[in-house]
Structure 1
Amino acid sequence: MQIDNTVLAKLEKLSHLKIDDSKKEEVIEQLSGILNYVDNLNELDTDALDPSFSTLDGGTPLREDTPREANNIAKDILSHAPQGKDDFFIVPAIIE
């Protein structure tokens, strides 16, 4: 995928970010570099690998699954949000 001004404008709209005109070329170069780097992963031969392959010895460490008392984590997180209602974030619609 090639990043151009059209794609960058769409990303700006979806992310609700405004990129200064003087920085747009730099951002396009950076995003293109990221996509090229990620595209290198397509060159890896993973056909012989098990889908659950892990580089960690013994697999992924798990924590003890212990029940906790009800807490106010959701209310604490939502207290920092610009808008929230009934334990949910309220965000602008992005689908036209």
Structure 2
Amino acid sequence: MLIDDKLLNSLEKLSALKINDNKKDTIKKQLSEIVSFVEILNDLDFEKNNITLNSTKNGVTPLREDIPSQNKEVVEIILKNTPYKENHSFVVPKIIE
């Protein structure tokens, strides 16, 4: 895929970036190379090679069990450094009404 001026201008607007005119040719070339490289992925045969697309088994990601623990010494050390605390928690300003 060739990146032309029209596409580059659209990408520039979407990304809210300003590309200097003297760098546009370099950027177009680099983006074209990136897109060409990614297009190679379209040629891969996933059925033939039995490639795994995700590491989950039966749609469930293997995670460790979440076991809550509270080390009161660590909590006290952390809370010692804040000026606003209450009931072993940080006190912050309300931002949602």
Deviation at 1:37, TM superposition (A): 0.4
RMSD (Å), alpha carbons = 3.3
CA distance in structure 1 between the partners assigned to 2:68 and 2:11 by the alignment? 41
Q: Are residues 1:65 and 2:66 paired?
A: yes
Consecutive unaligned residues of structure 2, counting only runs of 5 or more, are: 56-60, 70-88
Q: Are residues 1:19 and 2:34 paired?
A: no
Report the CA distance shift for 1:52/1:9 in structure 2 as closer, same or farther (over 3 A): closer
Aligned residues: 69
The equivalent of 1:44 in structure 2 is: 44
> Is the partner of 1:47 in helix, strand or coil?
helix
The equivalent of 1:8 in structure 2 is: 8
Deviations 1:42-77 (A, max 9, x none): 1111124266555xxxxx763443569xx88xx9xx
Q: TM-score, normalised by structure 1?
A: 0.54
The equivalent of 2:30 in structure 1 is: 30
- Letter matched to residue 65 of structure 1: D
CA distance in structure 1 between the partners assigned to 2:35 and 2:53 by the alignment? 25
Whichever of the two has the greater Rg, that structure is 2
Report the CA distance shift for 1:11/1:52 in structure 2 as closer, same or farther (over 3 A): closer
Consecutive unaligned residues of structure 1, counting only runs of 5 or more, are: 55-59, 76-84, 87-96
Which protein is richer in helix relative to its size?
Answer: 2
Q: TM-score, normalised by structure 2?
A: 0.54
- Letter matched to residue 20 of structure 1: N
> Is the partner of 2:46 in helix, strand or coil?
coil
The equivalent of 2:79 in structure 1 is: none
